[in-house]
Structure 1
C-alpha cells in the first residue's frame, strides 16, 4: 500500500516545496499585489519588479501592457496584460464601478481603459494581443469589443484567431 502511495506523496511534497518557494520570494521581495487607500482612484506609479499581477501572480517586469483596477473601496490591483485583467475583473461585483487604467503604448501615459483603443495583434506578456492606445488606428477596437473578444477566447492564444489576424 505504501508503494502505491509513493508517487502521490512525491507530487504532494513537490507542490508544497514550489508553493513555499513562491511565498517566500513574495514575502522576501515585498511584492505589491494589492494597494489600499487609493481614495481618488488615480493610477498608482508602478515600478518594474515590485508589483505582482493579480491574475496570474507573475512579477510585472514591463509596464508597456500594464493595467490597474481601482475599486470604490480604494483598493488597487495590478496586471501585466490587459487580457488577464479582463479575465480577473469579470466575476467581481465592482466590475462596472471600478476605475480601470491602462498604460498607453502610443503616449506612454496611464489612460482610462474604457476610452482606450486596443490592437488585436500586439506582442503582450500573456500572448492575448491587446495593446492599449490613446489614439485610434486602423483595425483598433474599443474597450467593449476587446472585452468581448477576450471573454470569447478570440485572442492570439487561439491558433485559429492568430492565423486569421496574422496570416501564419
Structure 2
C-alpha cells in the first residue's frame, strides 16, 4: 500500500512541472536577472532552495527561460552540460556591489563561504589575486575549489 502511495506522490510531482517548484521561470524576454524571494526558487543543479541572492547565479536562454543556482559552482557544472553555452546569458550576484552582473565579466576569488562550499565569490571590481570567468570555470571543472579537501587544506595554510 505504501508503495502505491509513493508512486502516486511521485507521479503528481512529475506532472506538476518544474516551473511550479521554482527550478525555472518563463517569459524573461529581456534576458535580465530576475528578482525572487528566498526559498521561492530552487537550484537546477543541486536542487537546493536558493536562500538568498548572495552567491547566487542565473542563466537565461534566448527563449526567456531563466534557471537559478544557489552557488556559482553549480552554474558552472550545469553550463558544461548545455548544448550552446555561449547563447546563454549568465548572471552572478556580486559580493562587492551587491547586484547581478554579467558572469562572464565578473572577477572571482576563491575562499568565500558559499552554499555548496565551492568557495568562488563574484566581484564586479578586480583586486589582486582575482581570476576571470574562464579561469574560475576551468578550476571548477578540474575540482580545484574549496569542496576539494586538498585545495581547502592548501588554501587555509596560505
Task: Report how many aligned residue pairs link the two structures.
Answer: 152
CA RMSD in angstroms comes to 2.5
Report the counterpart of residue 138 of structure 1 in structure 2. Answer: 128
Give, in whole Å, the separation in 2 of the partners of 1:145 and 1:98. Answer: 18
Report the counterpart of residue 155 of structure 1 in structure 2. Answer: 145
Compared CA separation, residues 122 and 19, structure 1 to 2 (3 A): farther
Q: Which of the two has higher C-alpha Rg?
A: 1
Cα deviation 1:68-116 (Å, max 9, x = unaligned): 0001121110001000110011111121111000001111111000000
Give, in whole Å, the separation in 1 of the partners of 2:145 and 2:133. Answer: 14
Report the counterpart of residue 91 of structure 1 in structure 2. Answer: 81
Give, in whole Å, the separation in 2 of the partners of 1:64 and 1:91. Answer: 24
Give, in whole Å, the separation in 1 of the partners of 2:128 and 2:9. Answer: 45
Extract structure 1 runs of 4+ deviating beyond 4 A. Answer: 15-20
Q: Confirm whether residue 43 of structure 1 aligns to residue 2 of structure 2.
A: no
Report the counterpart of residue 167 of structure 1 in structure 2. Answer: 157
Give, in whole Å, the separation in 1 of the partners of 2:129 and 2:9. Answer: 42
Cα deviation 1:33-52 (Å, max 9, x = unaligned): 11111111111112111011
Listed as ranges, the gaps of 5+ residues in structure 1 are: 1-11
Give, in whole Å, the separation in 1 of the partners of 2:41 and 2:64. Answer: 17
